[in-house]
Structure 1
Amino acid sequence: MYAIEFEADIRDGIVKIPAQYSRLENSHARIILMIAEPETSVVEQAAAPLDLTDCGVKTFKGQDAVEIQREMRDDW
């Protein structure tokens, strides 16, 4: 098995193989698609809300986190 690389547009679910690879006609191939995604800007990423409500971590629930830290530091 060997690899070739080329870029092509997909039209109606069909990828045209360039003429230089015509020897591949009627053969079996493993196809891997790599699609370029538009980059999101740092501003767009920062504007997206960070929702942690479904995390389920309840480490300090019902406790004073500052007091727990003070107790931990007393051990030093």
Structure 2
Amino acid sequence: MYAVEFEADIRDGLVKIPEQYAQLKNAHARIVVLLETENPDSELRALSNHAAGNIDEWKDPEEDEVWT
């Protein structure tokens, strides 16, 4: 796995891949979106903390014993 970084605007949920990365247009990729904003939407910000371990209601030490 390797990383490619470029800046782009998101328009109607789409990101245009720059021509210099044309070989990526029909590829599968894992996408990370980094937003520069001072006042992020609280719901959008919540998505950035999506790991199950971050949700108090999902923490159950008894259930976790099954996996250890």
Cross-structure match for 1:17: 17
- 1:27 and 1:4 map into 2 onto residues whose CA distance is 13
Q: More helix per residue: 1 or 2?
A: 2
Cα drift, residue 13 of structure 1: 0.4
Measure how far apart 1:37 and its partner are. 1.3
TM-score (norm. length: structure 2):
0.54
Instruction: Give matches, 1:1-76, under 5 Å.
Output: 1-38=1-38
What secondary structure is seen at the aligned counterpart in 2 of 1:5? Answer: coil
**Unaligned 5+ runs, structure 2:** 40-68
- How far apart in 2 are the matches of 1:38 and 1:27? 33
Query: Partner letter of residue 30 of structure 1?
Result: R
Structure 1, unaligned stretches of length 5 or more?
40-76
* Residues 4-58 of structure 1: per-residue CA shift (max 9 Å, x gap): 100000000000010000011211000000001127xxxxxxxxxxxxxxxxxxx
Describe the SS at the equivalent of 1:22. Answer: helix
TM-score, with structure 1 as normaliser: 0.48
**1: distance between equivalents of 2:13 and 2:38?**
21
Q: Percent identity?
A: 62
